[in-house]
Amino acid sequence: MRVVVGSGPVGTAVARLLVERGEQVRLVTRSGSGPDGVEKVQADASDPAVLTKLADGAETVFSCGGPAYDKWVTDWPPLGASLVKAAEATGAVLLTTGNLYGYGQPAGAMRDGDPDRPNSVKGHVRAKLWAAALAAHQAGQIRTAEVRGSDYLGAGAASFFTIGVLPGVLAGKKTAVPADLDALHSWTAVDDVARTLVAIASDDTALGRIWHVPTPPPVSIRELATQAAALAGVQAPRLSAMPPAVLWMGGLFNKQAKEIRELQYQFRATFVLDSTDAQNTFGITPVSTEAVLTATVRTGR
Percent of the chain with pLDDT over 90: 89
Burial 165-201 (b: 16+ CB within 10 A, else e): bbebbbeeeebbbbbbbebbbbbbbbbbbbbbbbbbb
Residue 230 lies inside a defined structural domain of this protein:
no
Average pLDDT, the chain: 95
Q: What domain count does the chain have?
A: 1
For position 293, what pLDDT does the model report?
95
For position 299, what pLDDT does the model report?
83
- List pLDDT tens digits, range 212-221: 999 999 999 9
Residue 117 lies inside a defined structural domain of this protein:
yes
- List pLDDT tens digits, range 235-292: 999 999 988 777 666 655 667 767 788 999 999 999 999 999 999 999 999 999 999 9
Percent of the chain with pLDDT over 70: 96
CB atoms < 10 A from the CB of 24, how many?
Answer: 15
Residue 262 lies inside a defined structural domain of this protein:
no
Residue 242 lies inside a defined structural domain of this protein:
no
Cα distances (Å, whole numbers) of residue 77 to 121, 130, 135:
13, 11, 15
SS3 152: strand
Nearest CA-CA partner of 111 in 182, 180, 186: 186
Residue 256 lies inside a defined structural domain of this protein:
no
SS3 290: helix
SS3 156: coil
- Tell me the residue length of the chain: 301
Instruction: Give me the helices (H) in 187-282, please.
Output: 190-201, 221-232, 244-250, 255-260, 276-282
Residue 52 lies inside a defined structural domain of this protein:
yes
Cα distances (Å, whole numbers) of residue 236 to 13, 163, 169:
31, 18, 8
Average the pLDDT over 38-63 and give the result.
98
- List pLDDT tens digits, range 97-148: 999 999 999 999 999 989 999 999 999 999 999 999 999 999 999 999 999 9
**6 Ramachandran zone, left/alpha/beta (phi>0; psi -120 to 50):** left
Residue 300 lies inside a defined structural domain of this protein:
no
Burial class (CB in 10 A: 0-12, 13-18, 19+), 39: middle
- List pLDDT tens digits, range 92-110: 999 999 999 999 999 999 9
On the question of pLDDT at 178 being above 90, the answer is yes
How many Å apart are CA 297 and CA 287, to the nearest integer?
Answer: 15
Q: Return the CATH number at 197.
A: 3.40.50.720
Domain that holds residue 54: 2-153+189-216+273-286
Residue 175 lies inside a defined structural domain of this protein:
no
